[in-house]
């Protein structure tokens, strides 16, 4: 039912994020004119999603995670889709939307899933289990559920993800300066160690596993961590879409034209025989 003309509809939407009236814009209480030039974009991300401004050290750690996940080349479906979309003649915003819309559970969701894994282990530790037992029991539960891939570990392209050691170094720096506790870092390293023992070879932490550590250490929720990944990857998507837009190429598919897909349908047949058989 629509409100009548004299009804106060100020409560139709309620938000603690922004207050705005003619000549006034405030984010979480801060006037926009005070924020401009005084806080970074990473600071604004934290302010908008968490309600307060981060410390410089918190912002540095968050920025590291966001920078690391910006791009992974046209072989990444989101990037490839953005470039293909541009060759179909659509604008940058449509290419961005097409690409971001494929960042789901399989492509883009492993960070959130790794955070949930860490939180599951953390809950067991908080309930009194030893960390090693908690990790073993959780990995057993994953195996019993038929999950062969542990989110956040191993990489189909990189023997060692080059982003992981640097991000772990940033986490260690934050631990040394009492910015974060290192608790989720320890959980992730324990998972990595136990996976190596189970598999008989190293299954190193990847970008999803280490950014999950950072987001968990900084107190973000798993769902918001996926949103932050989408925000980060959007920068790479935009860059690739823009680059492709300047190439004047049309209708580029997933493979070059002279490459054929594998056809596994019926052998050649004649519609006349079908009609005769009827």
Can you tell me the distance from the alpha carbon of 200 to that of 107, in angstroms, rounded to the nearest whole number? 27
Domain span at 179? 71-252
Of 6-15, 150-159, 189-198, 266-275, minimum mean pLDDT range? 6-15
Partners of residue 24 on adjacent β-strands:
21
pLDDT reading at 260 higher than 90:
no
In a domain, 277, yes or no: no
Reported as type and span, the H/E element at residue 136 is: helix 131-144
In a domain, 224, yes or no: yes
In a domain, 186, yes or no: yes
Confidence class for position 2, pLDDT limits 50, 70, 90: low
In a domain, 40, yes or no: no
pLDDT reading at 26 higher than 60:
yes
In a domain, 262, yes or no: no
Confidence class for position 116, pLDDT limits 50, 70, 90: very high
Number of domains into which the chain is organized: 1
In a domain, 23, yes or no: no
Strand order through the sheet with 18-21: 18-21, 24-27, 30-31
In a domain, 60, yes or no: no
Can you tell me the distance from the alpha carbon of 197 to that of 55, in angstroms, rounded to the nearest whole number? 39
pLDDT reading at 273 higher than 60:
yes
In a domain, 168, yes or no: yes
pLDDT averaged over every residue in the chain: 94
Question: 40-53 pLDDT, tens per residue?
Answer: 999 999 999 999 99
Can you tell me the distance from the alpha carbon of 30 to that of 26, in angstroms, rounded to the nearest whole number? 5
DSSP percent split of the chain into helix, strand, coil, nearest 5: 55, 5, 40
Confidence class for position 258, pLDDT limits 50, 70, 90: confident
CATH of the domain at 165: 1.10.230.10
């Amino acid at each position: 039912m629509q409100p009548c003309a004299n009804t106060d509809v100020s409560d139709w939407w309620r938000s603690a994020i922004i207050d705005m009236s003619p000549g006034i814009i405030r984010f979480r209480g801060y006037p926009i004119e005070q924020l401009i030039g005084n806080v970074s974009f990473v600071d604004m991300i934290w302010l908008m999603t968490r309600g307060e401004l981060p410390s410089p050290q918190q912002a540095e750690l968050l920025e590291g995670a966001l920078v690391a996940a910006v791009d992974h080349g046209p072989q990444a479906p989101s990037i490839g889709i953005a470039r293909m979309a541009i060759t179909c003649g659509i604008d940058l915003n449509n290419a961005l939307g097409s690409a971001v819309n494929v960042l789901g559970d399989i492509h883009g969701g492993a960070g959130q899933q790794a955070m949930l894994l860490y939180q599951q282990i953390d809950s067991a530790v908080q309930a009194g289990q030893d960390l090693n037992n908690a990790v073993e029991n959780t990995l057993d539960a994953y195996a019993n559920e038929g999950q062969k891939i542990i989110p956040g570990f191993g990489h189909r392209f990189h023997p060692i993800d080059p982003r992981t050691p640097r991000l772990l170094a940033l986490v260690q720096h934050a631990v040394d300066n009492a910015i974060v506790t290192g608790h989720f870092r320890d959980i992730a390293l324990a998972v990595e160690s136990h996976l190596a023992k189970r598999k008989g070879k190293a299954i190193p932490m990847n970008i999803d596993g280490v950014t999950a550590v950072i987001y968990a250490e900084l107190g973000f929720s798993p769902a918001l961590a996926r949103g932050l990944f989408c925000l980060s990857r959007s920068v790479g998507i935009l860059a690739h879409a823009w680059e492709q837009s300047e190439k004047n190429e049309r209708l580029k598919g997933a493979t070059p034209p002279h490459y054929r897909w594998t056809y596994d349908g019926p052998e050649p047949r004649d519609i006349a025989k079908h009609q005769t058989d009827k």
